[in-house]
Amino acid sequence: MKINLLNNILVGLFAVFIFVSCGMIKNVEQGTAVKVLLEKKLLDSIKEHELDIQWLKARGNALINIKNEAPQEIDLNIRSKADSLIWLNISKFKKRIFRGEFKKDSVKMVIEYPEKLFFKGSIASLERDFNLSIPYALIEDLLTGRSYLKHLEDKLILQVRNNEYHLLSHRKRKTKRITNNKTKKSANYIYQSWIDPFTYKCKRINIIFPSSNSEIKIFYKQWEKINNQYFPMEIELIISNLELEYNLLINYKSIKFDLPQKFPFKSIDDKYQPIKFND
């Protein structure tokens, strides 16, 4: 009787220890710990801590790597107005080579070098030409370090892995079945993100778009505090489909919030020829 009672006490204490250990997330480097949040509380906390701006002006450089081609370093000038427009200017050795204007349902862009080319059309047509899924909201979020969570409709699965929150739309087995076309009903997207439990900032995003067999991976690094908000000064983007893989590493040098911007765009004349993506 006494042995059984002792065993029960020990088992009980062990269970309590396991529960407490699993209910905390630790920062080994700083020697701190926080309590694990439930899904609703976590989503509310992420939303509360996400970048809240209307205007962005950013300068920096980027390294572009396309499969089987030599990496290219370029200079970036980015301006945006929330939920409205993204303006992008790319130059190399102080010579402008690209300018683009992205809206929710349309794209306008010109290439200045080595040929004068242009494109005007819908985002849907651009996605078809590249065989990639690139929603406008995702472009806006990836440039500003956001999680893309507010654009998702499906209920998410919450896990804790390696002292980080892991949010996913589908479990591993279901993801494999969808990507292998072994389900009766496919999915519009398969989403995963990794969230810092102390800052509630998104560290990494992985989205698969089964309809186009494409995948986007985003890594946010080097967070800095600017105007009392945290912003990733380094962003790595990997976009892939069955044919190609594009790798973009952005290093921001200058960031300014909520200064109204102008979006200059040179008129497209007869010197420019339409881009033919499938040639």
Spatial neighbors of 264 by CB under 8 A, at least 6 apart, are: none
Three-state helix/strand/coil letters over 109-134: EEECCCCCEEEEEEHHHHHHHHCCCC
Q: Write out pLDDT tens, residues 31-58.
A: 567 788 999 999 999 999 999 999 999 9
- 136, 96, 99: which is closest to 119 by C-alpha? 99
Confidence band of 16 (pLDDT split at 50, 70, 90) = very low
Mean of the per-residue pLDDT values of the chain: 87
pLDDT digits (tens, 9 = 90+) for 58-105: 999 999 998 778 889 999 999 999 999 999 999 998 898 999 999 999
- Name the band, by pLDDT with cuts 50, 70 and 90, for residue 278: low
Percent of the chain exceeding pLDDT 90 equals 62
pLDDT at residue 25, as a whole number: 67
Per-residue pLDDT at 14: 44
Q: What is the pLDDT of residue 35?
A: 85
What does the pLDDT read at residue 182? Answer: 87
pLDDT score, position 36? 87
The confidence score (pLDDT) of residue 133 equals 80
What pLDDT digit, counting tens, does each position of 187-226 carry?
A: 999 999 999 999 999 999 999 999 888 999 999 999 999 9
> Tokens representing 43?
């989503």
**More confident site: 24 or 79:** 79
- Write the pLDDT tens digit of every residue in 103-153: 999 999 999 988 899 999 988 888 887 777 888 999 999 999 999 999 998
- The alpha carbon torsion through 95, 98, 103, 106 (nearest 10 deg) reads 150
Q: pLDDT higher for 277 or 165? A: 165
List, in sequence order, every beta strand (DSSP E) within the chain. Answer: 24-27, 32-35, 55-66, 72-81, 85-92, 95-103, 106-111, 117-122, 157-161, 164-168, 190-195, 202-209, 214-226, 229-240, 245-257, 273-274
- State pLDDT tens for residues 226-258: 999 999 999 999 999 878 889 999 999 999 999
Q: What is the pLDDT of residue 175?
A: 93
pLDDT at 269 over 90: no
pLDDT tier at 184, thresholds 50, 70, 90:
confident
8 Å CB contact between 142 and 235: yes
What is residue 13's predicted lDDT score, i.e. its pLDDT?
41
Average pLDDT over residues 4-28: 49
The more confident residue out of 223 and 19 is: 223
